[in-house]
Structure 1
């Protein structure tokens, strides 16, 4: 599982497991009353290999709480399934602390799988404000943000410069450039992550949010998707496929496939996470030196991205909750967050790093990413998020492939989400 995700791949989602040898108590407010010991940290898909050196630093300073690194499957869905199975096992669990996709916090908290945390043990005031909301449920802190993310629009700056036009700020400009300029340069117009999986949920939510709509409200208790804004957002995606400025190949794209298409010089525009900018700009890429990044466009100006990333949470049956909290504080410290970016190419959650001149020089997309994160919104919160996501994927894919009109698709989605909320 990758932290890009919105899920999906690239944004590399870690699962942290802390395994100890002695049970310990927890205060009613979620604070640990004791309990330190060796730790096991499991990660799904640490593709850049940055985590080992980070943990070596912890191990040198905390020999009695040594962390052993273990990897889980690369797939977000498989990792979530393994985590859920383990957490349901109660006293037989292996997972003490988990680094979960930001959108699993509500589900895991509602199920009683993770415990509330004391706010004063963590540097919440130093974090980008929107990321803290992803770690709460019913007003309580159930996790600590570790990595954030927001979607960006990557574009071929050499092509737009040759045409004398700025990068698009609206859907109309994006459509016009994708339809008229891209073919002149032998390119397809626009792609995102449109295979029916978590990535399509993210792309669909961004389209709906950018049009001013929403999908769910009140922690998943209220269905809000049946709106003109939602029909406009789904219609934007369906129209792109129907008119050809979204290539039909993109209906099978996840993060990696879409990144590769852009990196190989086959696309004018791509919606993806910042890791795709890094890959497309790297040595060996056919478009190195030709890549720009701006916030996602919307109907009348900049749109709204979905927040990606991951949060660190402590399992309800954690054996060493004090060690768990200490490791979380370490992983969210300024020094370590800097290494999360420089070694792992993962967007940090600490606000000051986005204005650091040295980091901005090395990662030019940081100011744009900060702008996108500050304007971003979480995916719909729900204790049944996995089922919500499956419904969104299926319905929007049917609209994009022409099986249903956007209007019919939105009505169907509203019915399916309403049925879920009453289970």
Structure 2
């Protein structure tokens, strides 16, 4: 029997004090304060309740509403949907295209779920959302559909990302982890091997920029994701983690941004990456913008996810086809290479009237055949273990052979139902200290620590 969570007596006085504490956290938006109250109102005792009785499976036509994002490889997704509808001719998939930014996507999706939109059936969840969605009662528990023996076919980190309080709420569609792309032709021209450390990468980039100044005046040393959004958190986790730092303490109870390792890593990014190798425009880059710089031949090094390999070697999108290498992210001299765990999970709305049909779609799309399809035609790294030994997958993505250990050890961002608030503080802190060289990194980190610790203590104590 599952252990029952402790219930919470929501008195008016308690709600008022919660709102007061959340609202008084300086420089946080009103939605962030409201999310704390929402997390309490919809905490675990209500997480498995449903307001609607599932309709029985029927042969009459059914339309499933699937909130997704604009695909980088639309043909691969169009074919996948067509194949599902051929197997299930009574089910039609209606896709709603959400913003490409995970932050904007989250805002759109959670608005629908807060409104208990019964027309919404399926959605993608970023790997950091299941705790929030489960605690709020928005995502349907999938234990009866997705048994333990089937979960064992997936990379453990991808399964763990979909869990909350011993229940599973998401099925991994793929795995993402940060990796370093580089101009193989330029490194070979100047006699360099792929850099093992961040300092080595800086030296290589500076030497190449000097040598290419006349021929390629627009060339920059590095292109990454430094806009104030969730991608910035991933990028900075990799720098901080590779300096033996962390965002939270080991027990996850307190923020750790003021630790010396974390402060030194942030200072390195500001002084060496932003000010020396990139341009001020990098502070506005998400994945697509930073990748465009690289594919136009205007960056020596580029941090991105696995999907960039396919685009980089597609002449319709890239000017550097055949000139790209990929390797593990560098580390600091005393640290270890750290890659942020990314990826997307299929989730089913707790308010869907068609959960069985929705599961049929999830099961089909997460099958070995379809993950192989996406690996070959969209360069999406599979979450299924067996596909890393598939000859066709490895032929299309030879980098998987060397990068498989990275997928196995990718580091997750903090898992907490209040992660959107915590991430908002991370984003503001990192964006501010990177964009304004005159800011005192320690002072900004101390303020961020205080805010995060208040939220972590609030949720933990209740």
Same fold (TM over 0.5): yes
Aligned to 2:453: 418
With structure 2 as the length reference, what TM-score do the two structures score?
A: 0.78
Aligned to 1:65: 91
Aligned to 2:320: 287
Question: How is 1:5-404 mapped onto 2 (pairs within 5 angstroms)?
Answer: 35-37=56-58, 38=62, 39-49=64-74, 50-90=76-116, 92-118=117-143, 119-120=146-147, 123-186=150-213, 187-216=219-248, 221-241=253-273, 244-283=276-315, 285-300=318-333, 302-401=336-435, 402-404=437-439
Aligned length in residues: 395
SS at match of 1:154: strand
Check conservation: 1:238, 1:406, Cα contact below 8 A: no
Check conservation: 2:124, 2:345, Cα contact below 8 A: yes
User: Which structure 1 residue ranges, 5 or more long, are not aligned?
Assistant: 1-25
SS at match of 1:223: coil
Instruction: Compare 146-155 and 115-124 and name the one that shifted more.
Output: 115-124
With structure 1 as the length reference, what TM-score do the two structures score?
A: 0.85
Tell me if 1:409 matches 2:444: yes
SS at match of 2:175: strand
Deviation at 1:72, TM superposition (A): 3.2
- Separation of aligned partners in 2, 1:94 and 1:129: 32
Check conservation: 2:307, 2:378, Cα contact below 8 A: no
Runs of 4+ in 1 over 4 A off after TM superposition: 217-221
Check conservation: 2:182, 2:326, Cα contact below 8 A: yes
| Aligned-CA RMSD value | 2.6
Instruction: Compare 212-221 and 225-234 and name the one that shifted more.
Output: 212-221
- Separation of aligned partners in 2, 1:397 and 1:191: 16
Cα distance change of structure 1 residues 141 and 167 upon mapping to structure 2, 3 Å threshold: same
- What do the CA deviations read for 1:181-216 (whole angstroms, capped 9, x no partner)? 332223321221111122211111111222222213
Instruction: Compare 296-305 and 149-158 and name the one that shifted more.
Output: 296-305
Q: Look at both structures and tell me which one has the larger radius of gyration over its CA atoms.
A: 2
- Separation of aligned partners in 2, 1:135 and 1:35: 27
